[in-house]
Amino acid sequence: MSELINKDKEYIAGTYARFPVEIAYGKGSEVYSFDGKRYIDMTSGIGVTAFGTADEEWVKAVTEQLTKVQHTSNLYYTSPCVELAELLCKKTGMKKVFFANSGAEANECAIKAARKYAANCKGDDFYTIITLENSFHGRTVTTLAATGQAHYHELFQPLTDGFVHVRANDFEALKETALKHKTAAIMIECVQGEGGVIPLDAEYVKAVAEFAKENDILLIVDEVQTGNGRTGELYGYMNFGIYPDIVTTAKGLGGGLPIGAAMLNEKVENVFSFGDHGSTYGGNPVACAGAVSVINRLDSELLSSVKRKSEYVFSALKDAKGVKSVSGMGLMIGIETVRPASEIVRDCINEGVLCLTAKTKVRLLPALNIPDELLAEAIEIIKNACAKEN
């Protein structure tokens, strides 16, 4: 074992089952280990490096800001966060943005906003938030409570009270539960990412959005993974023709620096008053400058190329040997395989391709601008790994 791996094991808290890959540097959709081995990156840091590793435009945006001012606190005005908030509002129709530093924190903000809104409008016993089974909303004690997967909860009881999970795509169950409780909000991922890259049924999403509106229950869409071009639209909800009250995002927004955002529509734009919420790092100028450069590049041409690359991957893998099914949307793709996903990921590493898992599936989240030749090369290697007989 290498020195780096030994020291990592000695000094880093053991929360990650890392693969034996030591990444030294990269460019775009290719990364290199210290010994010079090249990998095609089908993970983009779990959907974070939207334009790949050390992308020139992104590096320029970030370093230019870095040489001006790297941090000020939120006691003063700075321009990158304002520019980013304006961009996000103009492109989504949302009215105001709160900046955080991660997906979990963006969701924490959404949960606080929903609870305050419901307390103001209906009474402070209207605190229940309904989420879906098999969802993933983060690792804080509250976003774990929101996460509808019991195995994440077990060792950390008691979690924050007031979260109820219902089966996805069962509208009657959701309606019944929402009316039985004093419900502040419903929170969904349009495509369940960590849960196995499973898009929700389009009619279900529409029905939930209508029901929420009729009953003045807020609809929160968690776009931490599906956002920022990942599904082939700027935000995943745009594929479903709905208009959420709160949209949270993170991962790809920053292009590689930590940032999260909760976007608030006209119903909730003024829910927070001074002191209700905050973050020392939130809206950090360097992270926001990077995010501005990412969002500015997600134009219709880029989004249609995401859709085109997605179609290519779906058609290449759909009937491939050892592949049971392919799910997902845009460049967020889950592959149900005959062999265990972990073995396929291991074989792909040996052949120079990095991929992810999600539950029992192999998951692909390549950079949105992965060149067609690299995508084809990676898919060929993944196909071979799926087809392999044990």
Within 10 angstroms of residue 150's Cβ, the number of other Cβ atoms is 9
Q: Are 314 and 375 spatial neighbours (Cβ–Cβ below 8 Å)?
A: no
CB of 347 to ligand PLP, least distance (A): 25
Give the CB-nearest residue to ligand PLP. Answer: 103
- Residue (189 or 233) nearer to ligand PLP, CB: 189
CB of 331 to ligand PLP, least distance (A): 14
CB of 207 to ligand PLP, least distance (A): 21
Q: Are 355 and 365 spatial neighbours (Cβ–Cβ below 8 Å)?
A: no
Cβ neighbours for 379, distance < 8 A, ≥ 6 positions apart = 312, 313, 316, 317
CB of 315 to ligand PLP, least distance (A): 26
Q: Are 327 and 333 spatial neighbours (Cβ–Cβ below 8 Å)?
A: yes
Tokens of residue 57, six digits: 């435009």
CB of 27 to ligand PLP, least distance (A): 25
Longest Cα separation, the chain:
61
What are the angstrom distances between the C-alpha of 135 and each of 50, 190, 193?
A: 23, 10, 8
CB of 29 to ligand PLP, least distance (A): 20
Q: Are 356 and 43 spatial neighbours (Cβ–Cβ below 8 Å)?
A: yes
Query: DSSP string spanning 313-327?
Result: HHHHHTT-TTEEEEE
CB of 143 to ligand PLP, least distance (A): 7
Which among 122, 255, 222, 116 is positioned nearest to 178, based on CA atoms? 122
- Residue (75 or 150) nearer to ligand PLP, CB: 150
- Residue (14 or 275) nearer to ligand PLP, CB: 14
Q: Which helix (H) or strand (E) holds 333?
A: strand 332-337
- Residue (252 or 285) nearer to ligand PLP, CB: 252
- Residue (29 or 248) nearer to ligand PLP, CB: 248
Q: Is 74 exposed, middle or buried (0-12, 13-18, 19+ CB in 10 A)?
A: middle
- Residue (297 or 363) nearer to ligand PLP, CB: 363
Give me the residues that bind ligand PLP (CB under 6 A), please. 102-104, 107, 136-138, 189, 193-194, 222, 224-225, 250-251
- Residue (288 or 374) nearer to ligand PLP, CB: 288
CB of 134 to ligand PLP, least distance (A): 11
What are the angstrom distances between the C-alpha of 83 and each of 149, 255, 284, 343?
A: 37, 16, 12, 45
Q: Kindly report whether the peptide bond that precedes residue 158 is cis, defined as omega within 30 degrees of 0.
A: yes
- Residue (224 or 286) nearer to ligand PLP, CB: 224
